[in-house]
Amino acid sequence: MDADLMEAFGRKGHSLPAYRAAVASYKHTNSKADKKQLVHFLEEIKQGFRTTLANNDPMRARMSKLRGQIAVMQDPDLFGAKKVDKAKLTKLKKDLEKQEAERDAIEANKVYEGAFEWRFEFPEVLDEQGNYRGFEVVLGNPPYIRQEELGDFKLYLQKQFSTYAGTADLYIYFVEQGIRLLKEGGQFSYILPNKWMRAGYGQGLRAWLQKHTLVQLLDFGDLPVFEEATTYPLILAVEKTQPEAGYTFEAANIGTFIYEQGLAAHVAEHAFQVQADLLPDGGWNLSNSVSQQLLEKLKNTGIPLGEYVEGKIFRGVLTGLNEAFVIDEATKERLIYEDPRSAEIIKPFLAGRDIKRYQPPKSENI
């Protein structure tokens, strides 16, 4: 990804402007003959880039050197060498096999399956020298992969992302990377879980987002936007610009799927302005600027709960594996039927989604 493109573009008289023009022509022409000619031209440049990478690859250079040493030792008469050192020759061959195996493992890695060099596919994001300048728009729905599944990959994430937290789910890093890929003034929008706004692991992301301009936050709460999962979705829109002091952004809490005039009209009717610099570091709650200022006044005149209980705030029961410990009513009845003593240890269980404001908690989980 960091390889210089100019050497590839310099082959056979090609240039970045010519490549950019060819890609634009390919995307807009309907002529099969023109597309075929353009594909040939584009493939020539890509092949030049592959050759450049191969020539500059340190691993390939070591393999080439080993092959040369082996060739000299295997045919001493041709190269005027001394008697064959079989032990050394065997070692060189083993070294070559190891290097080839490592190279094959890299090239066969599933990570690269179906991958492409996006700087070639989107030359619009490059300047005239082939340097990356950024996309104008990044839209996405990042994967909802829990932090427990990241394993050793966390070591890489910790080194690469300023929003890193050991308990952060994968989507956190997709937000940072998406905004990184934008050019200055570019527009970003993701649909993602809203948990980062209040969770401890989202503090790094909240602080990082404050360096940019928030445009819109649409919180869908516990609406089942995605039927297959309870994700508490939120639409986050950001502009990659330096935020102005005291600026406000649009926010709305969406509590229905029924929009008589469409979602945009529903948002316009129910939206309110939030002052970005009044969002607390400890967690964001979407409320209008007047409510924010009132809450700030209350905080300054009272004692926060965290201080009052001297930081002794706990998370309650943590199973570590819900599938092993949380059961439904039918399973409860079956276990008690099989062994009446089970009734002594089976207790009611409430998940976070079961707790509603002004409603008695209900749950089918036990």
Taking only the tens place, the pLDDT of each residue in 211-253 is 999 999 999 887 777 776 667 899 999 999 999 999 999 999 8
User: At 359, is the pLDDT very low, low, confident or very high (cuts 50, 70, 90)?
Assistant: confident
Examine residue 103 and state whether it is found in any structural domain, yes or no: yes
Examine residue 129 and state whether it is found in any structural domain, yes or no: no
Where b means 16+ CB within 10 Å and e means fewer, 124-141 reads ebbeeebeeebbeebeee
Examine residue 366 and state whether it is found in any structural domain, yes or no: yes
How far, in Å, CA of 140 to CA of 134, rounded? 16
- Do residues 148 and 285 both lie within one domain? yes
* Helices and strands (H and E) in the chain: how many: 15, 6
- Do residues 154 and 280 both lie within one domain? yes
Helices 58-74 and 86-107, axial angle in degrees (round to 10): 150
Sign (positive/negative) of CA torsion 144, 149, 153, 159?
Answer: positive
Bigger pLDDT: 205 vs 279: 205
248: left (phi > 0), else alpha (psi -120 to 50), else beta? beta
- Do residues 295 and 149 both lie within one domain? yes
Residue of 204, 104, 201, 93 lying closest to 148 (CA atoms): 201
- Do residues 154 and 266 both lie within one domain? yes
Q: Please tell me the predicted confidence (pLDDT) of residue 53.
A: 72
Bigger pLDDT: 358 vs 140: 140
Q: Are 331 and 323 in contact (CB under 8 A)?
A: no
Examine residue 24 and state whether it is found in any structural domain, yes or no: yes
How far, in Å, CA of 262 to CA of 275, rounded? 26
Token digits for 180?
Answer: 């990184």
- Do residues 85 and 232 both lie within one domain? no
Sheet with 233-239, edge to edge strand ranges: 135-140, 182-193, 233-239, 213-219, 248-253, 272-275
How far, in Å, CA of 83 to CA of 319, rounded? 69
- Do residues 72 and 196 both lie within one domain? no
The DSSP 8-state label assigned to residue 226 in this structure reads: S
Examine residue 255 and state whether it is found in any structural domain, yes or no: yes
User: At 41, is the pLDDT very low, low, confident or very high (cuts 50, 70, 90)?
Assistant: confident
Bigger pLDDT: 186 vs 40: 186
User: Domain boundary at 51, 81, 112, which?
Assistant: 112
Q: Please tell me the predicted confidence (pLDDT) of residue 260.
A: 86
Examine residue 346 and state whether it is found in any structural domain, yes or no: yes
- Do residues 347 and 230 both lie within one domain? no
How far, in Å, CA of 137 to CA of 203, rounded? 25
Q: What is the mean pLDDT of the segment spanning 1-30?
A: 74
Least trusted range by pLDDT, from 4-18, 292-306, 347-361: 4-18
- Do residues 152 and 273 both lie within one domain? yes
User: Domain boundary at 308, 325, 348, which?
Assistant: 308
For 105, how many CA atoms within 13 A lie in the half-sphere containing its CB? 7
- Strand intervals (E) in 196-349: 213-219, 233-239, 248-253, 272-275
- Do residues 303 and 330 both lie within one domain? no
- Do residues 162 and 280 both lie within one domain? yes
pLDDT tens digits for 146-187? 899 898 889 999 999 999 999 999 999 999 999 999 999 999
Examine residue 39 and state whether it is found in any structural domain, yes or no: yes
pTM of the model: 0.63
pLDDT tens digits for 306-334? 888 888 887 777 777 878 888 888 899 99
User: Domain boundary at 46, 79, 112, which?
Assistant: 112
When the pLDDT of each residue in the chain is averaged and rounded to a whole number, the result is 84
Token digits for 47?
Answer: 């092949």
- Do residues 203 and 249 both lie within one domain? yes
Q: Are 335 and 347 in contact (CB under 8 A)?
A: no
Please report, for residues 92, 125, 137, 258, the alpha-carbon distance to residue 26 in angstroms, rounded to integers and kept in the order given. 48, 17, 21, 42
CB-CB neighbours of 245 under 10 Å: 6
Token digits for 258?
Answer: 């029924």
Examine residue 278 and state whether it is found in any structural domain, yes or no: yes
Using DSSP's 3-state secondary structure scheme, residue 217 falls into strand
Residue of 245, 146, 234 lying closest to 190 (CA atoms): 234
Domain extent for 356: 315-366
What is the count of structural domains for the chain? 3
How far, in Å, CA of 112 to CA of 229, rounded? 28
The CATH number of whichever domain residue 191 belongs to comes to: 3.40.50.150
Least trusted range by pLDDT, from 5-9, 76-80, 136-140, 179-183: 76-80
- Do residues 288 and 336 both lie within one domain? no
